[in-house]
Amino acid sequence: MSQSDPSKIFSRIAGTGGYLPERVMTNKDLEKIVETDDQWIRDRTGIEQRHISADSQTTSDLAYEAAILALEMANVKAEDLDLIVVATTTPDKIFPSTATILQQKLGNRGAPAFDVQAVCTGFVYGLSVADQFVKTGMAKKVLVVGAETLSRITNWTDRNTCVLFGDGAGAVVLESSTEAGILSTHIHADGQYEDLLHVPSGPSKVAQTDDIAERTMNMKGNEVFKVAVNTLSRIASETLEANNITKEDLDWLVPHQANLRIINATAKKLSLGADQTVVTVNRHANTSSASVPLALNEAVRDGRIQRGQLLLLEAFGGGFTWGSALIKF
């Protein structure tokens, strides 16, 4: 694993940003909407509250707030970006892409801008795509955002799902560097699990009834849980092996925030304690593609994650999709 190699180009994280909508919905608030209780949600998921967008806020609005902070930290001007990637499952419109709407808000013109759709693994997919552009010299300054307004595709009458999700956005600015940054990314999918976690209808597969369940998230939680735990353990091993390192070399696990029990199982497998695992699920719930960059941003900004440390990012989501990134911060 090289620290600095003038013959090689790396993508280095130059800045991070995050944004959560102002409105907080607690488990107690949910008790008034569906038959659930605060203790059940805490025990089964670790979630205590989630943030919900205002009616006027779109995914690109959330993405914009996170992007501005990441650009500021990186000391990069929006007009100098030469690629914008937005990972989202809840785009503002069917088209144009949320990335081009964000581009307009940021005042960038001409850079390629596109969305990546890999549900909860979206940010890791976006990071992987951006990394290929940087490594091949196609781009030098890249904005990668994970942003979601999941509250818009939540069935607020279904207790199996509505307690699990929240809204938010996280962003990173990548810069081309001869110093080590992203060391490897690993992305996968297996479409045979489509029906375990999905929104049944869309622009092409038109809803056949007025049932709200057709237009909102459906999940067989228990089955997803089992596959998630096993898959995340496999992707962690794959990442360590590909980089010829051991779990002892890792400084931080920055996991997807779906369920505290899943996070703890992955951390345990890697022998990482609570002081080496970034947890935001208690306050953010599952924000899909925003969850990993929001967690990363929080630990960078509060000083836990330091320059030079080795981070393992991982995620798992609908599709199924899953992925990881090993990063020298």
- Could you list the residues that contact ligand UT7 (CB under 6 A)? 36, 40, 44-45, 120, 159-160, 163, 221-222, 224-225, 228, 258-259, 262, 286, 316-317
Which residue lies nearest ligand UT7, judged by its C-beta?
A: 221
Q: Where are the alpha helices (DSSP H) in the chain?
A: 27-31, 38-45, 59-74, 98-106, 122-135, 159-162, 221-242, 260-269, 281-284, 291-301
Class of residue 42 by CB neighbours under 10 A (exposed 0-12, middle 13-18, buried 19+): middle
CB of 89 to ligand UT7, least distance (A): 10
Go through 162-182 and write b for each residue having 16 or more CB atoms within 10 A of its CB, e for each that does not. bbbbbbbbbbbbbbbbeebbb
Q: Active-site residue among 256, 259, 284, 297?
A: 256
d(CA 176, CA 28): 46
Return the closest-CA partner of residue 257 out of 230, 288, 226.
Answer: 288
Quote the CA–CA distance of 151 and 90 in Å, as a whole number.
9
Give whichever of 36 and 264 is closer to ligand UT7, judged by the CB atom: 36
- For the chain, the residue count is 329
Rounded Cα distance, 143 and 124, in Å: 13
CB of 314 to ligand UT7, least distance (A): 12
CB of 207 to ligand UT7, least distance (A): 22
Shortest separation between residue 191's beta carbon and ligand UT7, angstroms? 15
Among candidate residues 27, 108, 120, 259, the one labeled active-site is 120
CB of 261 to ligand UT7, least distance (A): 7
Closer to ligand UT7 by CB, 52 or 228: give it.
228
Residue 162 is among the residues annotated as catalytic for this protein: no
Residue with tokens 């991982």: 314
Q: Is 256 a catalytic residue?
A: yes
Q: Is 224 or 295 the residue whose CB approaches ligand UT7 more closely?
A: 224
The residue among 153, 148, 170, 172 whose CA lies nearest residue 98 is 148
Which one, 40 or 114, has the nearer CB to ligand UT7? 40
d(CA 94, CA 194): 21
State which residue, 81 or 162, has the beta carbon closest to ligand UT7.
Answer: 162
On whether the CB atoms of residues 202 and 236 are closer than 8 A, the answer is: no
Measured from the CB atom, is 77 or 226 closer to ligand UT7? 226
Active-site residue, from 108, 259, 286, 297: 286
Least distance from ligand UT7 to the Cβ atom of residue 37, Å:
6
**104 SS3 class:** helix
Active-site residue set: 120, 256, 286
